[in-house]
Homo-oligomer: A and B are copies of this chain.
Amino acid sequence: MEQKIIDLLKRSSLSITDSRKKILESFFQKNSALAHADIEDYVGEDFDRVTIYRTLQTFVDKGIIHTIPTPDNAVVYALCKDSCSAGHHHDNHVHFICDNCNKTFCLEHVVVPNVHMPVGFAASQIDMVVSGVCNFCNNVS
């Protein structure tokens, strides 16, 4: 785990710092997308709020994580898959937000379908966010 994180940082030509390691760790540890507040909870008092903001921004810039729009307008971040690179996200999967546990998931294998645009509208990006009940909450039967 430690090594995987260090490799990822090196691959993104970022220096290895405690905060970056810890924040990446939180993404690998928890397996859903995380809001800023989740990360703040995870890292505890170890790092400043501002550091977390800046680190997340850096990760987005480097293509390590991507942001997910949510209907209730909280910013949520999730790890990108390998196909993402700096400044160039390939994030065309559907995102799922559980109304019950409130977690956000990347449905890596569900591709955003194409839609037919009205005349004059040129689409460059499509975001699709589904909400409902996730498989963990459903299995609690």
Chain B residues whose C-beta falls within 8 Å of the C-beta of A110 in the assembled complex: 115-118
Is the pair B121, A133 in contact by a Cβ cutoff of 8 Å?
A: yes
Say if the beta carbon of A131 comes within 8 Å of chain B. yes
Return the CB mask of A67-86 against B: 1 if under 8 Å, else 0: 10111111100000000000
Which one of A13-21, A42-50, A57-65, A122-130 contacts B? A122-130
Question: How many subunits of this chain does the assembly comprise?
Answer: 2
Is the pair B107, A120 in contact by a Cβ cutoff of 8 Å?
A: no
Chain B residues whose C-beta falls within 8 Å of the C-beta of A125 in the assembled complex: 71, 130-132
Q: A96-B121, A121-B132, A127-B128 are in contact. List 16 more A-B contacts (CB 8 A).
A: A69-B73, A70-B73, A71-B125, A73-B73, A73-B74, A94-B115, A107-B121, A109-B118, A110-B115, A113-B113, A115-B128, A117-B130, A123-B132, A124-B133, A126-B131, A129-B129
